[in-house]
């Protein structure tokens, strides 16, 4: 079992005919993801990658029954594309687009309320359930099916941790890139809750960074669930200077908030085991999972 995406997920791609979307759509199709159609306004009625192209999400969903959408749309138009998918009844949106304007994302958050749709991103590397489905741009090279769930704010660290876990004999149930923009959909705390409810996820890895309070909220979720599933945490950016954005739009220490120390304190207090270094996440989880069956 997995969270968010599995072999039954049926997806469309918004911005389907663009160069970047084409490249990653080909990868997803080759991986086995059921990507059944695309949406590009002005190109409806065409065929691309042997899939039909539609003018609107509503038309694509009506024709295919798709329940998920992967979004490759420029920042200025991304919010409107997300809202279009929400209003069409799509239940999962994975938004790869980076630096969507904050005010635009507030409109998206309002549209999500009560809709039954989950948004992953924006600025997300995607969602991967190894051997089942991939929606996004992450590497699948080192991913292996298994029982460790990963929720991350960092794309590059996600790839590193997946490789470490697989090398340690620990496959993954699902890997989720929640996104690095300051206003986004699914949170680290939401992922903790989903992984805790998943019977086939036996351990959880949280990858955080400076800025915001996502890690603190995840710590509160871990404390509240009182689960026996081990949780390993990694928070990077201990040496980042304040008031300077580090890569992601949301990776910013402001007014002494969003620091690594503050996040680590909250995670430790909630019972999370902190990996001492980035290269030791896999070994840290392996030591906690030794008595358990972790691969399938």
Number of helical H runs and strand E runs in the chain: 9, 14
d(CA 272, CA 230): 7
Give the whole-angstrom CA distance, residue 107 versus residue 200: 35
Q: Which two tokens stand for residue 273?
A: 């085991």
Structure tokens that stand for 210 in this block: 């400076």
Give the active site residues.
248
State the Cα–Cα distance between residues 4 and 83, nearest whole angstrom.
19
CB 179 within 8 A of CB 204: no
Give the count of beta carbons closer than 10 Å to the beta carbon of residue 114.
7
d(CA 5, CA 136): 11
Angle 124-27-62 (CA atoms, 0-180°, nearest 5)? 75
User: Of 256, 129, 261, 258, which is closest to residue 195 (Cα–Cα)?
Assistant: 129
């Amino acid at each position: 079992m997995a969270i968010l995406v599995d072999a039954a997920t049926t997806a469309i791609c918004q911005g389907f005919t663009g160069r970047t979307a084409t490249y990653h759509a080909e990868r997803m199709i080759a991986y086995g993801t059921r990507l059944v159609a695309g949406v590009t306004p002005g190109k409806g009625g065409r065929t691309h990658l042997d899939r039909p192209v539609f003018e609107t999400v509503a038309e694509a969903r009506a024709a295919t029954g798709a329940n998920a959408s992967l979004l490759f749309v420029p920042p200025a138009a991304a919010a409107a594309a997300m809202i279009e998918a929400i209003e069409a009844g799509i239940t999962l949106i994975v938004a790869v687009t980076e630096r969507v304007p904050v005010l635009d994302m507030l409109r998206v958050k309002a549209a999500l309320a009560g809709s039954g749709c989950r948004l992953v991103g924006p600025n997300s590397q995607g969602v991967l359930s190894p051997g089942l489905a991939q929606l996004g741009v992450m590497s699948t090279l080192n991913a292996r099916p298994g029982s460790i769930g990963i929720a991350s704010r960092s794309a590059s660290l996600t790839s590193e941790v997946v490789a470490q876990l697989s090398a340690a004999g620990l496959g993954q149930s699902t890997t989720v890139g929640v996104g690095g923009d300051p206003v986004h959909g699914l949170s680290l705390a939401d992922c903790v809750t989903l992984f805790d409810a998943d019977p086939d996820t036996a351990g959880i890895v949280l990858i955080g960074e400076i800025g915001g309070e996502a890690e603190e909220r995840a710590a509160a979720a871990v404390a509240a669930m009182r689960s026996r599933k081990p949780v390993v945490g990694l928070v990077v950016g201990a040496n980042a200077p304040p008031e300077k954005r580090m890569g992601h739009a949301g990776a910013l220490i402001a007014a002494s908030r969003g620091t690594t120390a503050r996040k680590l304190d909250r995670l430790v207090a909630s019972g999370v085991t902190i990996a001492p270094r980035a290269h030791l996440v896999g070994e840290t989880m392996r030591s906690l999972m030794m008595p358990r069956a972790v691969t399938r």
